[in-house]
Structure 1
Amino acid sequence: MLRMLHSEIIKRTLRVPEPSGRPGDGTATARRFDAALLTVGYTCSTDLLRHLAALRPEDVLAAAEPVLSAVREAVGDHVEHNVYFTDFPENVPDTAQFWLECLAGALADPDTRTESVLGDALLAGGPLDLLALPEYGRYQHDFDTLLSLREPFVAGAKDRVGVLHLGRPLAEETRALYLDLAAGPLPLGEDDLVLLELLAAECVDGEQPERIPVRENRAVVNRARLAEGRAPLVDTVTDVLRLACALSDGDVTLDRPTRFRSFRRSERRALMAALEGVVGGSRAKLGDVVRHRERFKRLGERLHPHEYPALADAREVFAVARGETRVRGFNARVEAAFADGDTGRVLDLLATAPGTLVRGVDRILRQCSEEEAARVAATVDARADQVAPRVLVSAREHLAARRSEGIARMFVNQRSRAWVVRDRRDPLPAGRVGPVVTALDAAIARRLPRFDRVLVDEAVRTVAVPRSGKGVAGGVGVLPRGSAMPVDGERLRFFVHWRQEARRTDLDLSVQLLNADFAGAGQVSWTNLKGEGMAHSGDIVEAAEGATEMIDLDLARVAGDVHHVVPQVLLYSGEGFLELAESFFGFMTRDGEQDGMPFEPGTVRAKSDLRGGSRIALPLVFSRVEGGGWIARWLHLFMSGSPAFNRVEDTGVSTGVLARALVERDPFTVGDLLGMAERDGARVAPFDAGEPVEEAVPEGERWAYVGLERPDSLPEGTEVFTARELGALLPD
């Protein structure tokens, strides 16, 4: 448990929990450790190197091993990335030629030639299963052989070098991570919720967050509180429902049904008491029961409400669920007002539910008159401070795009499955949208912390302001959906690695090429091993110990009619992404003179776990920039696909539509937030680690650094917001 937490802290924060040991001279050992880190794309900060140098060499070695292991896993270097073609990306054969060579090899082998699956097909002149050929899809060499055949890697000035900083003792770092996750303003992904549950149990006796704004996070923390005999933190009946789901190891997001287990008597009493407190404080809270009527009915079967005659308000929750007590829910009253066309009544109702007001502002503006639009903007302005910042950002981004005629509307569920429909709505008049956007901008600006000076890594300006951690898998260099980053290198190399749990699994890495109109312009996959400036490392269909596929792109040689490149990971057969023991995607950038192994951790720009419930993953789209160069945009999308045998030839139209829906969207970015901070009086300036700055923040001032990663030479006292903490720029 402690080792796992130690590793998670390093990967998430790039802080090394303070290594302990006896005083000594570990200078030489610390430098060797730093040199080893550089091969993985990291280096020690000055403080961390100084701390290690003051320990005995044996203590430095003891501290170095788990740190090196954590960062290697973070970039995907903890596994052996073998490829089928040993000299990839050079000398990759033509696809048909390669298949013929595999067939010739099979026919030359007497044992294979007599196998019925091959012999019958040849005699009958029927279709031939490539998987029956012994040389197809199976490594013909081990990793050591690959290593012996490759030229040494030539390090480049553009290779990624992240900085590891000295942290606090492990116990303090653990508490800090718990508080960050529990009190964070954004919903967490599935893996983060699992981690929060472990941290909540570990930190239940320590400091607790003053407020837990995200309901799913609250349910996870409440489970730990209940295990220690403490009352849960709830203020809605849905909070209690989420807690019951957590106790049953179900889905606290309520996205999927939960099969409630039999609760212990103490748990039933605690849940009933929580419902009694919520409904007793406000009978209007019973309206939420209607939204989850079936779930409450199933919960009532496990709680035995009749055993608690003194808890009349809690028992009424289940009477409403069974339909014995009629409650006209809030949503029903709002819908009735919409149906009557009574915008004034709609606003009066939604003013009591500001979050619902902001989420539904598009619908209100479509219905209201020009005269009523001013009241809509005024109501939003008056209530926006009570709305979660992520909801404000989402509404602001949405409305900014509604002033022009839409081509497509993209929908993404909580598990990142995406679909697109044609937008048949008329554009909203600028006179209606403008005042509401102004009100939303003002509300967002009011949420920003007040800084005297903001130091900025300019690369962060095009990062989309995060609105949720759901569907965004963990890894290195992973950014929120819609974020754009320049591609810094002459060659792109995509990679996917997977390790099956129980069944033979075949994932296929492919690239869909699109023209300026997002129509198909070619593909590279196991059915087309090479194209102009592109090469596939070879299809792997059987590798019980793990498999890797790669695709290399020489950006200068990519055909001129190709404007967008969309890498995909498709499930051809076997276990899904959530079933596999491990699966991740990433990309590297290299310059022309760099050789080395197919996978070099120092060139990895991003590595993301594949955690979607669908069968086709679309991690990013790469697009040409007018005037030269390429940019990468994060998609974090999944398509449902077929149960098996998915191929890139069948995904072209859907891929183009999804890529277009995101590329043509104008996201609300960190640069927009920095502009707001500057208008509010902050001195916003680029940060250059090579230029001298003050050693410490001047007394009485508040400084911040906003960037992708924390540099080594910030003034002491500077508040830091890196890619993982950007959500904290807009506290709830």
Structure 2
Amino acid sequence: MDSLESLVIVRRLRVPIGTPAESGPGWGEVAARQLDAALLSVGFTCSPALLERLGRLPGATVIDLGVRVLAAVRALVGDHVQHNAYFIDFPKNVPDTLEFWAGLLLDSMVGPAGADRVQPATLNLLTLPGYGSYQHGYADLLAAHAELVPLATDRVTVLELGGSLEEEARELYFSLAGSEAPLSEEDLAALRLLASFCAEEPERIPVRENRAVVNEVRLAAGRPLLVDTVTDVLRLACGCSGGDVTLAVPTKLRSFRRAERRALMRALDAVATPAKLGDVPRYREQWKRLGERLHPHEYPHFPRAAQVFEVARGTRQAAGIDSRVEAALAAGRTEEAVELLAHAPGALLRRLDHLLRIAPSPDAVLAAAEQAMAGASCRVLLSLREHLQNRLAPAAGRVFTNRHGRAWTDPDARSPLDEEVVARTLAFLDEEITRRLPDLGELIVDPGVLDVALPLSGKAVAPGLGTLPRGSLSPVRGELLRFFVHWRESERRTDYDLSALMLDAAYDNPTHISWTNHTNGFAVYSGDLTEASDGASEFVDIRLAQATQPIIIPQVNIYAGERFDEAAEAFFGYMTRDSAQKGRPFEPRTVRMKSDLRGSGRIALPLVFLRGDDGEWRVKWLHVYLQGFPGFNQVEGNQVTASLLVRSIVERDYLNVGYLTGLLRAKASPAGNVTYIGLETPADLPPGARVYTPATLHELIPA
């Protein structure tokens, strides 16, 4: 139950509280104010309504709840660990790189036991005594730094009063399960926890991975399964086996109980029509493994389900629509391909760019696309809209990203599309998207949210504090910008390196800050740590007003050891503060963003900082990983790849909240209820107002 409560707190910034009991005079109010003071130390505070409700609870209850709330928000901001730094006075008194290495080498050669440790013929600087591990304790670090001077510009995140845990969990469950956009791995895990707790479920679960998670609970309870394709059954079997419901990674299937086998075979038999058998060859090997677990020969009364495994084994032929379309395109029969795709509106729209480029005349393709728009999901329409608005100008490169965030670029060799054709298609898309949008009544929009990208997919975005979808742009305020990374190894020595790549306005003339270059005129590195059995933190401090290059790309390189998703813990974030504030290297109330590191790549590029023509700094979210090398990754070795990838993302025109609110205003009725869209929930909204923040922006995407 505590994990469910923590989930609600960190995802919705709401504290679930049921009907309060009567408390003794004054005791609950005193405990509530003590909790609020503790929360302020990490950059959070209670809303007036939450503070009032806490004050009506028994004092002991407030204390118990406060311990759980404080633990949840400290983990959210990254304050649940001790952030030590290699150089105790960081960002002051950090030695020049050559001076530092020369000092280490001298100590190794002339210090005690130096002759036994250093062999000049085989000298490895990284193995010098004293390098890569803390030379002081955390208490020593605290003693070396003055207290942080609180300023009004520090982050203060408001925790709102929630309903009962059951009500809050149900609301979060319906939001995640009914999302029109695919969820991240963390969100799927949250959905699984919520599905096991909530008895109800939304009427519509559009994303098939979400449906598979809900079906796990239905299968365990013996309820009918929500399936309409054969692949839905395979996803469910993988999910029940603790595997990947996206089917991107093969799953080792477990043995199923007889009742489970019968339920899976019954569901499969209901949907295994000849038209849908064409989906089987795509996952042929996984179907074979599932057949070994389900024993289809024991169920002769499910003959259509048995045909699925015949197709998997190759004893029955079934051609899917994709293979038929590819055959038609390969033979130059574009009209036939368009006719086939007309039965799959989403597939037709996803191929629209290619079809327009190869069709002898675009009119027939456009006519088919306009008809298909009514049958495709709005997420597909929005994705196509974003794609086409970027086809009007040459791109620095095409960016491809997999579900784990691993990204790469290719030169854009596509022939241009006719501007009139693009304009006509965009007009139809805007008309169809507007038709589907609801009337949200009186619309109030925070200008700060307009440049936030629409969350058309959440797969590569790890939830956290202040995280926004890839392509989002937001201002950076403060004199000092400080990145941080923290990791703790699981089973073997692991060395992550925090670095920063700096480029000019043309994405050229690279310089960097890293363990091989501690300082320059405006940036300082906190020192290299090469093992993290008890956790390790590294920092890069940047004085923005003195920065000579307008593009700053923080990155985390895996130099040795475990991947991000193998480590016991790994997260990245950034802080902003004024130079007069002093404080420790890590101050939770100055943290603006923090999220977990994961993904299949070995170089993480979470975001990029950009100085505009107006001199103001902004941050653009990347959420991408480079493949890198198996080991010894350094910022110097990926400068070209990183700069090209970042430039392609920065110069891409992402569909943002500003676009959607423009369409929403055209349908809004000023006499209706108030709807607020912004980065945070304001305190002065009227009762009954609907609020959309970054945590719930996906709910704005209609069906």
Shorter-chain TM-score tier: over 0.9
Q: Deviations over 1:190-227 (max 9, x none)?
A: 12212222222222xx1121111110111111111111
1:17 to 2:16 alignment:
yes
Q: 1:463·1:485 contact (CA, 8 Å) conserved in 2?
A: yes
- SS of the residue corresponding to residue 530 of structure 1 reads coil
Q: CA separation in 2, counterparts of 1:74 and 1:30?
A: 21
Q: CA separation in 2, counterparts of 1:375 and 1:484?
A: 38
Specify which of 324, 339, 343 is matched with residue 333 of structure 1: 324
User: 1:340 Cα shift?
Assistant: 4.2
- SS of the residue corresponding to residue 265 of structure 2 reads helix
Question: Which residue in the other structure is 2:106 paired with?
Answer: 104
1:247 to 2:240 alignment:
yes
Q: Deviations over 1:446-500 (max 9, x none)?
A: 2322122111121110000011110101210000001011111121100000111
The answer to which of 520-529 and 442-451 deviates more is 442-451
Q: CA separation in 2, counterparts of 1:510 and 1:407?
A: 24
Question: Which residue in the other structure is 1:201 paired with?
Answer: 196
Q: CA separation in 2, counterparts of 1:658 and 1:635?
A: 10
User: 1:95 Cα shift?
Assistant: 0.5
- SS of the residue corresponding to residue 724 of structure 1 reads coil
1:664 to 2:651 alignment:
yes
Q: 1:520·1:652 contact (CA, 8 Å) conserved in 2?
A: no
Question: Which residue in the other structure is 2:419 paired with?
Answer: 430
Specify which of 557, 566, 573 is matched with residue 570 of structure 1: 557
User: 1:639 Cα shift?
Assistant: 0.8
Written as runs of structure 1 = structure 2, the 5 A alignment for 1:356-371 is: 356-369=347-360
1:640 to 2:627 alignment:
yes
Q: CA separation in 1, counterparts of 2:106 and 2:690?
A: 65
Specify which of 312, 324, 328 is matched with residue 303 of structure 2: 312
Written as runs of structure 1 = structure 2, the 5 A alignment for 1:314-713 is: 314-369=305-360, 372-559=361-548, 562-681=549-668, 701-713=672-684
Q: 2:443·2:668 contact (CA, 8 Å) conserved in 1?
A: no
Counterpart amino acid of residue 678 in structure 2: G
Q: 1:376·1:436 contact (CA, 8 Å) conserved in 2?
A: no
Question: Which residue in the other structure is 1:697 paired with?
Answer: none
Q: CA separation in 2, counterparts of 1:336 and 1:584?
A: 46
- SS of the residue corresponding to residue 487 of structure 2 reads strand
Counterpart amino acid of residue 258 in structure 1: T
The number of equivalent residue pairs is 700
Q: Deviations over 1:529-579 (max 9, x none)?
A: 0111100011111332111000000011111xx221110001111111111
The answer to which of 249-258 and 50-59 deviates more is 50-59
Q: Deviations over 1:358-399 (max 9, x none)?
A: 111101111224xx4344334333332332222211111111
Question: Which residue in the other structure is 2:74 paired with?
Answer: 72
User: 1:679 Cα shift?
Assistant: 2.5
Question: Which residue in the other structure is 2:698 paired with?
Answer: 727
Counterpart amino acid of residue 23 in structure 1: S
Q: CA separation in 1, counterparts of 2:676 and 2:173?
A: 23
User: 1:305 Cα shift?
Assistant: 1.6
Q: CA separation in 2, counterparts of 1:326 and 1:537?
A: 62
Question: Which residue in the other structure is 2:178 paired with?
Answer: 183
Counterpart amino acid of residue 276 in structure 1: D
Q: Deviations over 1:91-133 (max 9, x none)?
A: 211001011112222234323x143xx33x23x3x4x223322
Question: Which residue in the other structure is 1:28 paired with?
Answer: 30
Q: CA separation in 1, counterparts of 2:694 and 2:602?
A: 28
Q: CA separation in 1, counterparts of 2:332 and 2:442?
A: 49
User: 1:43 Cα shift?
Assistant: 1.1
Counterpart amino acid of residue 132 in structure 2: G
Q: CA separation in 2, counterparts of 1:229 and 1:343?
A: 47
Q: CA separation in 1, counterparts of 2:71 and 2:374?
A: 44
Going from structure 1 to structure 2, the CA distance change for 1:435 and 1:706 (only over 3 Å counts) comes to same
Q: CA separation in 1, counterparts of 2:614 and 2:702?
A: 39
Q: CA separation in 2, counterparts of 1:153 and 1:447?
A: 50
The answer to which of 175-184 and 333-342 deviates more is 333-342
The answer to which of 266-275 and 527-536 deviates more is 266-275
Q: 1:232·1:274 contact (CA, 8 Å) conserved in 2?
A: yes
- SS of the residue corresponding to residue 37 of structure 2 reads helix
User: 1:21 Cα shift?
Assistant: 4.5
Question: Which residue in the other structure is 2:125 paired with?
Answer: 130
User: 1:250 Cα shift?
Assistant: 1.4
Question: Which residue in the other structure is 2:261 paired with?
Answer: 268
Q: 1:406·1:427 contact (CA, 8 Å) conserved in 2?
A: no
The answer to which of 428-437 and 657-666 deviates more is 428-437
- SS of the residue corresponding to residue 604 of structure 2 reads strand
Unaligned runs of 5+ in 1: 684-699
Specify which of 46, 49, 54 is matched with residue 48 of structure 2: 46
Question: Which residue in the other structure is 1:694 paired with?
Answer: none
Written as runs of structure 1 = structure 2, the 5 A alignment for 1:82-97 is: 82-97=84-99
Q: CA separation in 2, counterparts of 1:404 and 1:521?
A: 26
Q: CA separation in 2, counterparts of 1:417 and 1:481?
A: 13
Q: CA separation in 2, counterparts of 1:274 and 1:452?
A: 42
Q: CA separation in 1, counterparts of 2:668 and 2:440?
A: 8
Q: CA separation in 1, counterparts of 2:52 and 2:669?
A: 34
Counterpart amino acid of residue 330 in structure 2: A
- SS of the residue corresponding to residue 695 of structure 2 reads helix
- SS of the residue corresponding to residue 618 of structure 1 reads strand
User: 1:164 Cα shift?
Assistant: 0.5
Counterpart amino acid of residue 323 in structure 1: G
- SS of the residue corresponding to residue 556 of structure 1 reads helix
Q: 1:377·1:439 contact (CA, 8 Å) conserved in 2?
A: no
Q: Deviations over 1:209-265 (max 9, x none)?
A: 111111011111111111111221100001011111112211110111122222222
User: 1:148 Cα shift?
Assistant: 1.2
Q: CA separation in 2, counterparts of 1:317 and 1:200?
A: 29
Counterpart amino acid of residue 155 in structure 1: P
- SS of the residue corresponding to residue 428 of structure 1 reads coil
Written as runs of structure 1 = structure 2, the 5 A alignment for 1:228-307 is: 228-279=221-272, 282-307=273-298
Q: CA separation in 1, counterparts of 2:220 and 2:250?
A: 23
Q: CA separation in 1, counterparts of 2:556 and 2:22?
A: 49
Going from structure 1 to structure 2, the CA distance change for 1:340 and 1:437 (only over 3 Å counts) comes to farther
Counterpart amino acid of residue 91 in structure 1: N
Q: 1:17·1:170 contact (CA, 8 Å) conserved in 2?
A: yes
Counterpart amino acid of residue 245 in structure 1: C
- SS of the residue corresponding to residue 84 of structure 2 reads coil
Specify which of 169, 182, 185 is matched with residue 164 of structure 2: 169
Going from structure 1 to structure 2, the CA distance change for 1:261 and 1:28 (only over 3 Å counts) comes to closer
TM-score by structure 2 length? Answer: 0.97
Written as runs of structure 1 = structure 2, the 5 A alignment for 1:129-168 is: 129-168=124-163
- SS of the residue corresponding to residue 713 of structure 1 reads coil
Q: 1:381·1:443 contact (CA, 8 Å) conserved in 2?
A: no
User: 1:655 Cα shift?
Assistant: 0.5
